[in-house]
C-alpha cells in the first residue's frame, strides 16, 4: 500500500504543531515560576542599612533593591536569637511549636529541627524547585538535622555560629572543634579563614545560579556576618567610617550586588523574588530609633530591616508600615509558587501575595504577634498599634530599675517604647494579657 505524502502532510503538520505547542506550554509554565532568594544576615540591626538610616557606611545595592520593591518598616522575626528565628523562617511557625524557642543550639547540643517538621525547602522542592542552603544553618549539627535531610538539595556552609569555632565551654568542660565547613554531608574544611566567608558564600551562590538547570531555584543564603567575631575580606577592610562593623556590612551589600548583577546577566532578574532581612536585632550594630537589641524583646531585638523585590510583579519604590514577619514568608511563597502545604500543618503566618502585587489596594488583617524571650518565656504581645510587655528577663536591670511593671506602648507614636501608657488603658492591657496567656497556653 502506497502512502500519498502530499495528502498526509497537512495532517502531519497539524500533529507536529499541536505537540510542539503542548511542549512549549509545559516549558513556559515551569519558567513562569519565579526563582526565590532569601538573603539572610546574622545580627544586622534595624538601623544597619542605608535606607533605614545607617550612619558611617553605605549600602547602595540593598538600597537600590528597596527602591525596586517594597521596604517594610514593621518587619519582625519570631525570636531574639539565631536558632529559633531560623526555625520560624523555615517552618512558618512559632519556634515553640518545634521546641526550639529556648536559647540557641551549641556544638554540644544533641537536638535540632525535627525531620518531622515540614520546611520551606521541602515545600518548594515538591513544587518543582531546586533547593540550596548556603552559609549558616544553626538548626542542629547532627546528620539527621542537617540541611540535606530537611529538603535542601545542596548545602555549602557551616552548621552553627562563627563564634563557636574552637570554643571552650567552661561550665560544662566542653571543647568545640574548629568550625566545620561542609559541602552537603562532606566535611571539606575545619576552621576556615572567616575573613573570606562572605566572599565564599557569594561565589557559591553565583556559581549555582550560572550552573542552574531548567527548574526554578530556591537559594537560602544565610550569611554568618555581622555576628561576632567580625571579619571582612582585605578588599573591604577600612572602607567604612564605622570601623570593622561598617566594613562587614558594606561587604554584605557587595554580596547582594554581585548576586543581583548575575541575575541580570543571566536574564532572570525580572522573575526572581529577592528577600532581604536579618535573623534578629544587633549585638554590635544599630537598632535606631528602636529600644533594645539582640536577645531582648524590646522592638530593637525583633524588628529588623525587610525588603522584598520581584521586578516583574511587585511595584517599585513602595514603603509600607503594614505589620509582617518572617512567619509570613512560608505561606506567601507557597501561594506564589503554587506549592502545597499539608493540611494538618499549623501555620502562624499569612499569605502576603495579594499585598505584594498591589500594596496600595490591599490592607492586611490585624493580627497578634507574640514575643518569646531567649529563656523561652512569652514576654510581650503586639496587636495593631499596641504592644504590651508582661515581663522582662533581659534588657531590664531589677537592681537599678526595680521590679518590672507591665508596660503598654503605642507604637504608632512611640516607636522607641519610652512612654508607658498602661495606667491610662486598662481595657487594652486586660485584652492583650488574656490574648497572650491564651495563646501561650494553647501552643
Catalytic residues, which ones?
Answer: 82, 138
Size of the chain in residues: 443
Quick check: 294 and 283 in contact, CB under 8 A?
Answer: yes
Distance between CA atoms of 10 and 276, rounded to whole angstroms? 54
Ranges assigned E (strand) in 331-410? 368-372, 378-383, 386-389, 407-410
- Strand-pair partners of 40: 222, 277
H or E stretch covering 425? none
CA distance linking residue 158 with residue 99, whole number of Å = 22
99: alpha, beta or left? (left if phi > 0; alpha if psi -120 to 50): left
Read off the C-alpha cell for 254: 557587595
Residue pair 54/302 in contact by the 8 Å Cβ criterion: no
CB 409 within 8 A of CB 421: yes
* 358-365: long-range pairs with CB below 8 Å, 24+: 358/315, 359/70, 359/315, 359/318, 359/320, 359/322, 360/315, 360/318, 363/322, 364/322, 364/323, 364/324
Rounded Cα distance between 115 and 203, Å, is 29
Amino acid at each position: 500500500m502506497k502512502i500519498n505524502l502530499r495528502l498526509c502532510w497537512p495532517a502531519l503538520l497539524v500533529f507536529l504543531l499541536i505537540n510542539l505547542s503542548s511542549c512549549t506550554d509545559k516549558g513556559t509554565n515551569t519558567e513562569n515560576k519565579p526563582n526565590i532568594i532569601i538573603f539572610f544576615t546574622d545580627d544586622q540591626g534595624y538601623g544597619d542599612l542605608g535606607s533605614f538610616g545607617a550612619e558611617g557606611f553605605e549600602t547602595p545595592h540593598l538600597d537600590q533593591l528597596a527602591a525596586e520593591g517594597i521596604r517594610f518598616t514593621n518587619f519582625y522575626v519570631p525570636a531574639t536569637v539565631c536558632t529559633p528565628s531560623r526555625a520560624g523562617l523555615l517552618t512558618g511557625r512559632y519556634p515553640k511549636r518545634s521546641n526550639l524557642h529556648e536559647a540557641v543550639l551549641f556544638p554540644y547540643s544533641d537536638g535540632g529541627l525535627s525531620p518531622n517538621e515540614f520546611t520551606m525547602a521541602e515545600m518548594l522542592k515538591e513544587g518543582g524547585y531546586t533547593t540550596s542552603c548556603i552559609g549558616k544553618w544553626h538548626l542542629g549539627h547532627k546528620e539527621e538535622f542537617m540541611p540535606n535531610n530537611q529538603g535542601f538539595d545542596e548545602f555549602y556552609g557551616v552548621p552553627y555560629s562563627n563564634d563557636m569555632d574552637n570554643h571552650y565551654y567552661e561550665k560544662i568542660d566542653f571543647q568545640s572543634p574548629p568550625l566545620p565547613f561542609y559541602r552537603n554531608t562532606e566535611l571539606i574544611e575545619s576552621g576556615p579563614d572567616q575573613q573570606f566567608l562572605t566572599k565564599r558564600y557569594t561565589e557559591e551562590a553565583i556559581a549555582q545560579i550560572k550552573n542552574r538547570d531548567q527548574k526554578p531555584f530556591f537559594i537560602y543564603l544565610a550569611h554568618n556576618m555581622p555576628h561576632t567575631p567580625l571579619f571582612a575580606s582585605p578588599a573591604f577592610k577600612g572602607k567604612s567610617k564605622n570601623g570593622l562593623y561598617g566594613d562587614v556590612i558594606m561587604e554584605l551589600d557587595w554580596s547582594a550586588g554581585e548576586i543581583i548583577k548575575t541575575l541580570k546577566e543571566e536574564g532572570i532578574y525580572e522573575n526572581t523574588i529577592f528577600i532581604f532581612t536579618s535573623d534578629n536585632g544587633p549585638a554590635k550594630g544599630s537598632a535606631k530609633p528602636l529600644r533594645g537589641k539582640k536577645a531582648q524583646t524590646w522592638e530593637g531585638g525583633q524588628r529588623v530591616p525587610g525588603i522584598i523585590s520581584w521586578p516583574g510583579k511587585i511595584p517599585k519604590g513602595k514603603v509600607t508600615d503594614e505589620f509582617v514577619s518572617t512567619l509570613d514568608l512560608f505561606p506567601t511563597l507557597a501561594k506564589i509558587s503554587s506549592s502545597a502545604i499539608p493540611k494538618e500543618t499549623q501555620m502562624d503566618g499569612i499569605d502576603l501575595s495579594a499585598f505584594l502585587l498591589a500594596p496600595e489596594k490591599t490592607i492586611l488583617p490585624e493580627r497578634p504577634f507574640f514575643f518569646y524571650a531567649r529563656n523561652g518565656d512569652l514576654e510581650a504581645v503586639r496587636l495593631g498599634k499596641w504592644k504590651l510587655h508582661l515581663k522582662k528577663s533581659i534588657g531590664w536591670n531589677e537592681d537599678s530599675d526595680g521590679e518590672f511593671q507591665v508596660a503598654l506602648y503605642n507604637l504608632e507614636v512611640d516607636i522607641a517604647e519610652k512612654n508607658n501608657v498602661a495606667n491610662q488603658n486598662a481595657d487594652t492591657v486586660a485584652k492583650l494579657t488574656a490574648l497572650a496567656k491564651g495563646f501561650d497556653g494553647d501552643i
